Amino acid sequence: MASMNLGRPFHSSAGWSIRQLPRKPATCLKISCSSSFLPNKFKRAYTSVMIVPTGVGAAIGGYAGDALPVARALASVVDCLISHPNVLNAAMLYWPMPNVLYVEGYALDRFAEGLWGLQPVHQNKVGLVLDCGIEEDLRIRHLQVADATRASLGLPVVEYIVTDAALQVEKWVNPKSGQSTGRIRRPDSLLRAVGTLIERSGVNAIAVVARFPDDDSDDDVEKYRQGKGIDLLAGVEAVISHLVVQKFGIPCAHAPALSPFPLSPSLCPKSAAEEVQDIIGYTFLPCVLTGLSTAPQYLVHNSNSIGKDSIVASDVDSVILPIDAFGGDGALAFAARKTNRPLLIAVEENETILSNTPAKLGISAVKVSNYWEAVGVIVAHKAGIGPNSLRKDRINNIMGTSFFPSNGYAVIRESPFRNS
């Protein structure tokens, strides 16, 4: 259930390396992950990226899958939507969307930077890593849920392993940024377990379940359950999945193992999905296993080799973020593109504890009040219509710059399109 975080470009280590993209043929057609019944064969697929950073108290997407309705709406109007577990996970709940790519946050940053490509798949072989610090009865419940997803959903969860040492999760709130974060004291144990699964069973996607401490204050938990504050688990979940993706270059997502919460008669709907685990499963695994089962594989990208069915950063047409969350690696990389720069959309209603607005960072973006408007902007953009032409008095006289060369003839140069 991880999201975006700072990271460095991936360098594969001996034993596990990301596959190089095959050389692009002289003539090839870009595939589409569109669910459209009659796609336009004369236009390439329209691809959007939706980002909501995790552990930053986002008004939409800062709780238990409350950004999933936005993703569903966007997926219905674009050909391909790329997003990350923080948006698409909802504990025991999930929603299958065939044209949505489930990409871990570290991988999404590398994708935005043009370092990695995304290779769509029909199915992954998913391995499950369980923290040996999980109590026996809680471990059995997680294994029963994994078996249930195999039997009832047909998910390809092929093998599990228990770490050789307790991962010892620690979590806290960064006093400067206010973001949730943390660490595991035994990352070596996690990486050994993942490596063993890869060698023994050939898995190419990893679900991790770590035992989280039950030490949150009653006030912090109650704030979150009432739709306020930040997700105290999310930051260290990102740390865990980033660690695996950076080392092995395969999809990974995390689900926490927790003791059941006490019953609350008054609960915010945004937080309710996480309460379901207390009733029917004691686990957050179903959404993680579902997402990983068809998550795209991550491929090293370079200018000389592009797979005909892979997706790279230059394929992205638009990127949607909260208004104050433009400071992440992925957002900055998309904004810095010199060619094929996507349309950047800032959603004012989705505020976080961050302060990285487009205006503050000098980034040109279309500001919209809410996700209703964001969907409308994307529909216009996909149709080849300047979004401002749908607004009252937003089209001014065309601008130009004139200069007079030595031959005396004037040349008019149209100014580049500027977002408002």
Per-residue pLDDT of 104-115, as tens digits, reads 999 999 999 999
Q: Find the largest Cα–Cα distance for the chain.
A: 86
Question: How many C-alpha atoms does 352 have within 13 Å on its Cβ side?
Answer: 30
- In the numeric block, the tokens 């992925």 are attached to 330
* Contact indicator for 378, 48 with CB cutoff of 8 Å: yes
Please write the tens of the pLDDT for every residue from 2-18: 444 444 444 444 344 44
Q: What is the pLDDT of residue 15?
A: 44
Q: How confident is the model at residue 177 (pLDDT cuts 50, 70, 90)?
A: confident
Q: How confident is the model at residue 408 (pLDDT cuts 50, 70, 90)?
A: low
What is the reported pTM? 0.81
Indicate whether 193 pLDDT > 60.
Answer: yes
Indicate whether 374 pLDDT > 70.
Answer: yes
Indicate whether 300 pLDDT > 70.
Answer: yes
* Contact indicator for 167, 194 with CB cutoff of 8 Å: no
Indicate whether 314 pLDDT > 50.
Answer: yes
Indicate whether 394 pLDDT > 50.
Answer: yes
- How far is 277 from 54, CA to CA, in rounded Å? 20
Q: How many Å separate Cα 407 from the centre of its chain?
A: 55
Dihedral sign for Cα 53, 256, 64, 76, please: positive
CATH 3.40.50 fits 120-300, yes or no: yes
Q: Where are the domains of the chain?
A: 120-300
Structure tokens at 162: 């228990």
- How far CA 106 is from CA of 7, 53, 121, 204, 378, in Å, comes to 7, 11, 19, 16, 25
Q: Directed axis angle between helix 234-248 and helix 105-112, to 10°? A: 60
Mean pLDDT on 91-101: 84
Q: What is the pLDDT of residue 230?
A: 74
Residues belonging to the chain: 420
* CA-based nearest residue to 259, from 233, 239, 237: 233
- How far CA 386 is from CA of 92, 184, 343, in Å, comes to 40, 48, 11
Rounded percentage of the chain residues whose pLDDT exceeds 90: 57
Strand arrangement, sheet containing 205-211: 157-162, 126-130, 205-211, 252-257
Indicate whether 40 pLDDT > 70.
Answer: no
Residue type, position 160, single letter: Y
Q: What is the pLDDT of residue 381?
A: 96
Indicate whether 216 pLDDT > 60.
Answer: no
Indicate whether 273 pLDDT > 60.
Answer: no
- How far is 388 from 385, CA to CA, in rounded Å? 8
